[in-house]
Amino acid sequence: MRLEEAIRSNNFSDERHRATVNLVYSAYWMKDILSSALKEYGLTMEQHNVLRILKGSHPKDLCVKDIASRIVEKSSNVPRIIDRLVAKKLVRRYQSKEDKRETLVGLTEKGIETIQLARKVVDEVTHRTVNLNEKEAATLNALLEKMREGADDAGK
C-alpha cells in the first residue's frame, strides 16, 4: 500500500518530508510483522533482541551496559527487559566479581534453544515479507546510511 493510502494524507512538503514519514511508517510495518512471528515463542522484539545479543557473545556473558550498547532501541530500559527474561528462565543474572557494580547476564539452556528457534522463524518471515532483491536491499541500506550521515544532533 502506498503511504498516502495507508495514512490517508498527501500533505507532504517534498520527497524528504515524505521519506521521514515513510521511514517511520515502514518501521512500524516491519515491527508488526516480526512481533507477530515472535509471539509464538512468547517473546517481544526487545526480548528477542537481547537474547540475540547474548547469543552473539555466547558462552561469554555480558554486562548490562554491553547489552545496552549493542541494542537497536538505544533508550530501552535494559534492566527491566532482563527482569522478564529472568522470569522466563531464559537468562541468568549475577554480580560480576571483577567489578561489583556490573551485573553479568548469560543465556540458560532454555534461552539458547529459544533463540535458535526464534532466529529461524525471523529469517523465514523476513524473506517472505520483504519484497526486495539483494541489489535493491543494498541500495536501501546505502540510502539509509547516507541519510543519517553528518547529522549534527541539534535539538537534542
Partner DNA sequence: CAAAAATACATGTACATACATACATTTGCA
Partner DNA sequence: TGCAAATGTATGTATGTACATGTATTTTTG
Among 59, 87, 100, 154, binds a second copy (CB under 8 A): 154
- Residue 82 binds which entry of a second copy, DNA, none, CB below 5-8 Å type-dependent: DNA
- Residue 100 binds which entry of DNA, a second copy, none, CB below 5-8 Å type-dependent: DNA
Nearest approach, Cβ of residue 134 and DNA (Å): 28
The alpha carbon of 118 is separated from its chain's Cα centroid by a whole number of angstroms, namely 13
Exposed, middle or buried: residue 143 (CB in 10 Å: 0-12, 13-18, 19+)?
exposed
Residue 59 binding a second copy, by CB under 8 A? no
Mark out the alpha helices in 58-108 (DSSP H runs). Answer: 64-70, 78-87
- Residue 145 binds which entry of DNA, a second copy, none, CB below 5-8 Å type-dependent: a second copy
Residue 13 binding a second copy, by CB under 8 A? yes
* Strand, coil or helix: 137: helix
Q: Which residues of 109-119 are buried (b: 16+ CB within 10 A; e: fewer)?
A: eebbebbeebe
Residue 22 binding a second copy, by CB under 8 A? yes
Q: What is the DSSP letter of 71?
A: -
Q: Tell me whether residue 62 or residue 91 sits nearer to a second copy (CB atom).
A: 62
Nine-digit cell string for 28: 512500524
What would the x/- binding string for DNA be over residues 90 to 129, using CB under 7 A? ---x--x--xxxxx--------------------------
What would the x/- binding string for a second copy be over residues 106 to 125, using CB under 8 A? -----------------x-x
Q: What span, in angstroms and rounded, lies between the C-alpha atoms of 6 and 57?
A: 40
